[in-house]
Amino acid sequence: MDDHLLGWLRTLDEDRLGRILATRPDAIAAPWPRRLDTLAQRLGNGFAVMEALRGLPLPCLELAQACLVVRHATPERLAAFLGVPAEELTPWLDLLHDHALAWPDGEGVIRLAEPVSRWWTAPLGLGEPLDHYLNSWTISNDTLRSLARNLGLPPDGNKRRTVSRASEVLGDRDRLDALLRTAPEGTVRLLDSFAWEGPVRDVDGGRFVMPGTPEKWAADHGLLYRPSWHVAEMPREVALGLRGGDYHPPFTPEPPEVATIPIDPEEVDHLMTLAAPHVVERCAALLDNASKAPLPLLKTGGVGVREVRRMAKETGCDEDETRLLLEICTVARLLAWDEPSGGMIPTERFDRWRLDEGSARLRVLLSAWWRMERSSLRKIDGKYGTVLGDDQSGAAVARVRRAVLSVLSHLPAGTAFADRAGLVRNVHWHSPMLDQDLLAECASAVLVEARLLGLLANDSLTDLGRALAGLAAKAGEESDDAVPLVEHDPILAEASTRALASVRRSALFGPDLTAVVTGPPSAELAALLDRVAERESRGAASVWRFTTESVRRALDHGYEADELLEELSGVGTVPQPLEYLVRDVARRHGEVTVTTVGCVVQASDPTLLAEIAAHRRLSRLGLRLLAPTVLVSSAGAERTLAALREHGYSPVPVTDGGEITIRRTRVEEPHNGKLILLPGGQVAELSELAAIGGAEAIPHIIAEPIPDPHEHAARLISASRAANDRAGRTWAVIGRMATRLPTAQQSLLGFVVDRGVRAGITLTDGLTATISHGELKGGALDAWCEEAGDYLEFPLAEIVEVTGAY
């Protein structure tokens, strides 16, 4: 924990502290802190600081680098260094303060959070300060005295004085210019390469020991230092002196302009209502196709181009759509690898997904795309990557996607971007920590993906895209099974409903055996027509044609003629030619039958097989004699073997090659259920819930909403004042009230209160809980319970055991 940060937090008023909590949602996430020291520890966490830094625009990062370079950086010194008026820095300094990434100390000097200081090894392309080199243990006193003589300084005095004198000379621009006038030819050119192209460069180590060379002269005069034979570094003060007194680092408070053109908002809205239903419908078609023929993966991972093209042809999608939707369905857990099938098949979640209303299905897909860490339409060296293959960029791709949509959402209403390069520059200004090469590669793919999903139309965000762009902070990660904050967002739900409002749930059947849908068909209507007819066209109007083969395909999937005609009549008026076609195909359907056999039972003794076939208790196997020594069962081999053994027979399994196989069944270890405490004092056993309906049956416990930032800031300030009054009382109260605990466990419970550590507790009724961030309230411990996802009160007198939790 940074003590300077904690000291600054203690000086803040309610409004300023509330702004910090509002801009840093990680600091107030559950379990929300109850003390300023806990808040300071969370604000200074390295991962959290870097996440906050990613959300800041370019001027904040430029200002942070300047703070690292300028000694005792005050707003006035920073303004002079950057060459801008001091008031121009104020909004960006406030933004850093509101994110607790920088703060002023008692003397007005700006301090940076430690992770921010560590991020830049060479801020503004400058190296370490002179003190870093001159005070190094590798610099001997003899070397310092030699340096002092070369700089024209008296060599006497202690090390600290010599270092101070040398730093004064090398940090003074006028004295540095005078020194360089005596340098050998080529020295200035050598030093300029270090000053402008980086403080650390590869060099020829031999030239640093060769008399008369620029390298040796620069090293002898303290302008270059070598940490190793072939590497040299230039100190920060020397580089600044070489850059000159008129040098000012870049500071860009205004973002690059994005050129825009006017568009028709009604047309954008219309295109959204065409694209969004199409996404839901095509996802259902792709998943239905995968359920019929599992999607195989390449040995190197991912789906091959041949399979993508096959699936695109069979479902009527184009290849780009297929690539994108396969990725989305996998992230949404609608499609997963199945070992027995040897391919990707729809999951049980798909069965529930297709029963949801259309807007809910669309939100599941958009949420998956929003957190997807791959870009299936991104081209590298002019080629697409492998679908579902490994993408080394990972989460950075998702950040690019959110950054692009965020910039598009701030364009004026009724306009579209006119220049993609200008858009990319603006995105980089808003998200400067994104890799520029990756941003340039992925921006085009993001725009294409957004168009296919109905988020972008005519180069302008649709209402659906704007609703999603506002959920960047709630996107989640690709590994999340579900993201309720996105899928259940009310604004996104409203936009999804409107995007699907124009879907058609009826068709016009013609006497020429066609069905026409004048608009985007609903997923249910499209699925019905796809089952019984061949799709001929899609777009503003979609056309299907009924043929003998298409009707027979529907009958093959279990439909009867009357059932099929009833479903068709539910979406339109069925003409007489179509009814004749269906009934004629149904009349000839089934003239030839094919029976599925579960397994074959053979024996050399016909009498034994006749006895087994006539056994009343084996009738459930559906046994039939095909020949005196061949018996077929409608049940599978495993079930048939078990039933025969149960009734006294001794069968053995045989492979397809006729070899006898004996398999050993691995006994599964029992899984002990975890006892969890739910809000309201209810107790549930996870193993019992899972046994009833699988892992999906476990209720999703949504924690209490985080407190209001400004209200919580007032509580933190009040708690900080009260903590001073009750300092030292924790152990007295616990010692008096928690009488069932030994002294050591009482001390551990005290750390839960005073330092917020995690611990496991057991109550008198056997209930266990993992707690942290405790407070004493009378005779109870009010602490965060991880199992309940909320703060709960535990009577001190009923706690019988406390253990450490790591």
- At 400 the pLDDT is 94
For 727-750, what is each residue's pLDDT tens digit?
A: 557 878 888 888 899 988 888 988
User: What is the structure's pLDDT at 430?
Assistant: 95
Q: What is the pLDDT of residue 678?
A: 42
pLDDT band at residue 482 using 50, 70 and 90 as cut-offs: low
Residue 20: pLDDT band by 50, 70, 90 thresholds?
very high
* Mutual angle of helices 358-371 and 265-292, in 10-degree steps: 90
- Beta carbons within 10 angstroms of residue 176's beta carbon: 19
The mean pLDDT of 334-345, rounded to a whole number, is 88
Q: What average pLDDT does this structure show over 47-53?
A: 91
Sorting pLDDT into bands at 50, 70 and 90, what band is 80? very high
Q: What is the rounded (10 degree) CA torsion for 545, 551, 553, 556?
A: 160
Q: What is the mean pLDDT of residues 110-134?
A: 90
pLDDT at 322: 93
Residue 695 confidence (pLDDT): 41
Question: Average pLDDT over the chain, rounded to whole?
Answer: 85
Distances (CA, A) of 372 to 276, 377, 477, 655, 766: 18, 13, 8, 44, 43
Three-state secondary structure readout of 389-444: CCCCCCHHHHHHHHHHHHHHHCCCCCEEECCHHHHHHHHHHHCCCCCHHHHHHHHH
Q: How far is CA 190 from CA 122, 172, 176, 441, 712, in A?
A: 19, 20, 15, 36, 57
Average pLDDT of span 404-409? 95
Question: Where is pLDDT greater, at 239 or 670?
Answer: 239
The residue with greater pLDDT, 206 or 526, is 206
Distances, alpha carbon 512 to alpha carbons 508, 554, 572, 579, 796, in Å: 11, 19, 15, 12, 81
Instruction: Specify the higher pLDDT residue, 795 or 677.
Output: 795
Would you place residue 445 in the very low, low, confident or very high pLDDT band (cuts 50, 70, 90)?
Answer: very high
pLDDT, tens only, 361-370? 999 999 999 9
pLDDT (tens digit per residue) in 450-466: 999 999 999 999 999 99
Q: Is the pLDDT of residue 339 over 90?
A: no
| Residue 458: per-residue pLDDT | 93
Beta strand residue intervals within 75-174, DSSP E: 102-104, 110-112
Name the residue type at position 90: T
Per residue in 275-301, pLDDT (tens digit) is 998 899 889 889 988 888 889 988 888
Taking only the tens place, the pLDDT of each residue in 629-670 is: 888 888 888 888 888 878 778 787 777 666 655 443 333 333
The separation between the first and the last C-alpha atoms of the chain, rounded to the nearest angstrom, is 19
pLDDT given for residue 576 in this prediction: 87
Residue bearing tokens 């993408």? 391
What pLDDT is recorded for position 659? 65
Place 722 in a pLDDT band, splitting at 50, 70 and 90: low
Residue 358 pLDDT > 70, yes or no? yes
For the segment 537-561, what is each residue's pLDDT rounded down to a tens digit? Answer: 766 678 889 898 888 888 887 788 8
Q: What is the pLDDT of residues 615-624, one digit of tens each?
A: 888 888 888 8
- For residue 119, pLDDT over 60 is answered with yes
**Residue 261 three-state SS:** strand
